[in-house]
Structure 1
Amino acid sequence: MKSSKKRKKVSEKILKTLKVPINKHLPLTENEEEVSLRTKEEIIDRIISLAIVAAKAMEAPPEKIEEFIERYKANELFTEEEQKLLKKKHLTQNELIQYSWKLECIWLLLWSVNLVSDIDVPADTCNAEYVFETVFLHSKQELLDKSSLKPTSDILDSLDFIYRAHWAVREAQINHLEVPSSLDEGVVYERHYTLNWLVNYMDQEWEEISTDT
């Protein structure tokens, strides 16, 4: 079992290779025995609800959104904020951007249940078409059958790395410096948010997630 100290060391080595600034004083992330991951069904439910919301943000026709909701019996899966969004006829520009970014959350979640084989360094946005095909070409049962939860250790490796990468992004933003070219600030944020949800960080639910650095 990998210790938090070992995980930190590996993350910092990767960041150094990517020419990303490192804060040696950032605390350790959780050990495996301290973490209780979301269940596979919780993750698949979140993938489905986010995919429907993202489809609306990508301006899918209203009848298509209704079809998805009906097909996945998804009414109970949405957060209150998502329910409000889905009831709107027209989204603001800010909402279109905010919820389109949820594709990055879905990509991370698909990886967490082995429906995406690998997640690259967070330098580029994901393949939106692949995300929608992976979700909407399968029933919920098929997604459950095809998926398997990644080991806690793998998820904590990604969390430790993104936590330290997010510090570098925020440090650049605060000091009006250029964000390292190997990091996309939006991708880093969405991955950190999603990973904190996955590990039940501070027992926060989806709309409450904090991304402390």
Structure 2
Amino acid sequence: MRHFTIFASRNDTGDVPGLIAEIFADGYKIDGGPGEYVVQQRKWFNKNKMVIRVASEDTDPDYFANNVPGMMGFYDRIPFEDEQLKRLVLTQISVINTMLAIETEKDYDEAYLTLFRGLLRGVDGIGFFPDGTLADHDGRIIVHPDGRSGNAEFRPRACTRKIRGEERVSAEGEQRKLATIAYLREMNIPWNEGLPQLPPLADLRFKSGEEIARRAVALLLVIQYACDVLQDEDLEQSRQFVTGMLDKYGVTAALTENEVELLQQEEPEHQDAVNISWQYEAYWALIWALGLVERLDFPSQACDCDFAIQAVSSCGSLEQFMERTAVRRPEEILDEADRIYRLHWACVNSRVKGESAPAGMNESIVMERRRALFWLIGCGDESWDHVRMDT
């Protein structure tokens, strides 16, 4: 192989030139910089010149805007044998903002790989091999291209800049955060004081009633197809029914990339169907926002699937469905988003400690509810398939 790429989440890249100089101090000549370094062995023979290109969101924002979603999609499609590991990998990719792309003139050997691992440790990143293998900051395998787990005990790493972004502290955000913490204290659920505020109302782009309705109907229909996949139903018949209903309600354009892919797969991936079937819980949050569900109960029990289906199936058109809705106030939706954000942290904190989620929470329900609520408030303006789940 001639390529090895290191991705990381870092506040800045100011120390990278010094790190490269340190790693290649013995027997190498380094030219160039900043941004591109040519590293050449001082030996007369068996030279293997390499080029190290360094980029960050500051120096090359278009690269990260264009490639991180593709990388997310690539690993989302891999059938991980450990679904939790998949979530951790996707979380890590979502906060990447630094890249060291290494290209060697000839295939590199173990000696070169040892040097690459030194860079990997130095920037505290993940290593990407051309075949899709991922390595952790110590060079241990996280996941193989076929989804098999490696021997790394992997945990995502995110810099404060990516976690907090350009955090805007506001009295409104602080009041909302403190109200959620009071709720958590009453429920005896741990919280993290350092978890930032959500943006104030004025900084968010809430979805319209029609956007929510279209997303909800499209999602429900694809969920039905995903359930048929899992139950080994006649998929051609199911596909025709679902696509027909999407046309009937006029919501085909509201499908996400992942949903379109599931419908188009000749032999749908089992895990893809599982992932979408769990989104019943996200759909439930959508119809709550539309006023069709009275309240969002504590995320410990699955939603009422029969009621969820009836909410749409009892309507002959999207217009009739929308006539029954009354979109909740943005303040109410943002309050729920703040609450689920901090409940998610409590779930992750317990999982990292090897403990059960507090108060009987189901983390999968929490995550799907967060997906919907963060999409509803337009947090980060992220697409449905790529709502960040960092805590």
What interval of TM-score do these two structures reach, taking the shorter chain for normalisation? over 0.9
User: Identity of counterpart residues, as a percentage?
Assistant: 26
Which secondary structure does the structure 2 equivalent of 1:28 belong to?
coil
Aligned to 1:65: 242
Q: 1:73 & 1:203 partners in 2: Cα distance? A: 24
More deviation in 20-29 or 42-51?
A: 20-29
- Pairing of 1:1-213 with structure 2 (within 5 A): 3-59=172-228, 61-138=238-315, 139-213=317-391
Which secondary structure does the structure 1 equivalent of 2:198 belong to?
coil
CA contact (8 A) 1:29 1:160 kept: yes
1:91 deviation in Å?
Answer: 3.0
| Larger strand fraction of residues | 2
1:89 deviation in Å?
Answer: 4.5
The 4+ residue runs of structure 1 with deviation greater than 4 A are none
Once the two structures are superposed, residues 130-163 of structure 1 have per-residue CA deviations (whole angstroms, 9 ceiling, x without a partner) of 1111012212001211112211110111011111
Which secondary structure does the structure 2 equivalent of 1:3 belong to?
helix
Q: 1:101 & 1:13 partners in 2: Cα distance? A: 29
1:5 deviation in Å?
Answer: 1.8
Q: 2:205 & 2:265 partners in 1: Cα distance? A: 35
CA contact (8 A) 1:121 1:182 kept: no
More deviation in 195-204 or 172-181?
A: 172-181
Q: 1:143 & 1:211 partners in 2: Cα distance? A: 30
The number of equivalent residue pairs is: 212
Matching residue's letter, 1:112: A
Matching residue's letter, 2:331: S
CA contact (8 A) 2:239 2:263 kept: no
Matching residue's letter, 2:332: D
Higher relative contact order (CA 8 A, sep 6+): 1
CA contact (8 A) 2:173 2:199 kept: yes
CA contact (8 A) 2:281 2:303 kept: yes
> What is the aligned-residue RMSD (CA, Å)?
1.7
If the length of structure 2 is used for normalisation, what is the TM-score?
0.52
Q: 1:149 & 1:69 partners in 2: Cα distance? A: 22
Aligned to 2:72: none
Q: 1:137 & 1:90 partners in 2: Cα distance? A: 31
Matching residue's letter, 2:365: V
Q: 1:69 & 1:180 partners in 2: Cα distance? A: 39
More deviation in 177-186 or 111-120?
A: 177-186
Relative to structure 1, the CA distance from residue 90 to residue 128 in structure 2 (aligned partners, 3 Å threshold; closer, same or farther) is farther
Q: 2:251 & 2:330 partners in 1: Cα distance? A: 27
1:127 deviation in Å?
Answer: 0.8
Question: Which structure is larger by alpha-carbon Rg, 1 or 2?
Answer: 2
Q: 2:200 & 2:325 partners in 1: Cα distance? A: 25
Aligned to 2:102: none
| Larger helix fraction of residues | 1
